[in-house]
Amino acid sequence: MFKHFSRSLSLVAIITVVCGAQSLRQAADDAGLLVGTAVRPHLFSESAYTQTLAHQYNMVEPEDAMKWPALRPNNSTYDFRQGDEVVRFAQAHRMKIRGHCLVWDHDNPDWLTKDHFTARQLSRILHEHITRVMTHYHGEVFAWDVINEATDENGKVRDSIWYNQPGIGLSEKGTAYIEQVFRWAHTADPHALLFYNEAEGEGLNRKSDAIYSMMKSFKRHGVPIDGVGLQMHVPAIDADIDSIAAEVFANIARLTALGLQVHITELDVPLTVEPDGAVRPSDLARQAEMYRRIVRACLNNAGCTAIQTWGFTDKYSWIGSHSHHTRGAALPFDQTYQPKAAYRALLEELSAGRSPRSDH
């Protein structure tokens, strides 16, 4: 009992120290930037989670609460309770809300993937889903990841239920189905910002070249798209930080030159962890430098308008389970909400503000 009481006091002390200093939120506000994190509404009952979240961030995005399994228990029923909880929390703490995500080939409910719908039926289901969800959150969600990870590692349109298995009637027509969902989304909420969100296309490679070409084509053909989300799950160990930062900066520059916004949407920097969870101090220093350089790449371009991490405390990061606990410690706060070197790097860069040449 005494040990539990001491641990609780320590946690209160940590929160008091972090919340008493300048926050990421204050620094981002001063820099004219959104700083956000993905959240899980069932954790709002944990005071350390909510206090840190509300103090440090001015934007939230649900990890899963606005995905199909949470919203659509069956074809005829919508359940907005989890998503609405995120909205209520954000509104109570004056935070912006990003929606994630309307269309993805992963994480779909069994009734959708196993009922053998025809292309015509899938088109109707998807159109109705986009319209219903965006109408429900009209005026509350300011930006949506309309479609998530629609291209493979080579930049080709990924095989999926929405593209060609069986697709929504635009099978084998390249990016036509992606264009269609953006048009549906714009009709559903003309005021929301619409983003294409992608992984492993942050730097300069075959995939990011394909994304750039797709965005250029969309702009030329009047597809209603406002921006690109760069997920930014980036390594720190054995990585050329200078090269990664330079490529990210160049990629942001060419995307924003098309008239698009860029959001960094899922930033985390996983490290190698020992069986007991320990991390080498030198690795934490490299992690901090990676965070610093990614944030600076964004701040140096006025078209990069938001930086978001995928969670904020190592206590609830997806990295551990995804890597069978060989990697972790990927976020700015450790498992006890203690700010790490990565947090201080974020704060220092945000406090420094945008480059005088960030409009070029």
Question: Which residues are annotated as catalytic?
Answer: 149, 266
Q: Which helix (H) or strand (E) holds 322?
A: helix 319-322
277 with 243: CB under 8 angstroms? no
HEC secondary structure over 250-264: HHHHHHHCCCCEEEE
Which residue from 24, 32, 80 is spatially nearest to 57, judged by alpha carbons? 24
The structure tokens 């997920």 sit at 231
d(CA 129, CA 188): 10
100 with 154: CB under 8 angstroms? no
What separation, in Å, do the N-terminal and C-terminal C-alpha atoms of the chain show? 59
Q: 251: how many CB neighbours lie within 10 A of its CB? A: 23
Q: Taken in order 198, 304, 142, 127, is the CA torsion positive or negative?
A: negative
Q: Strand (E) positions, the chain?
A: 34-39, 59-62, 96-104, 143-148, 193-198, 227-230, 261-267, 271-272, 304-309, 327-328
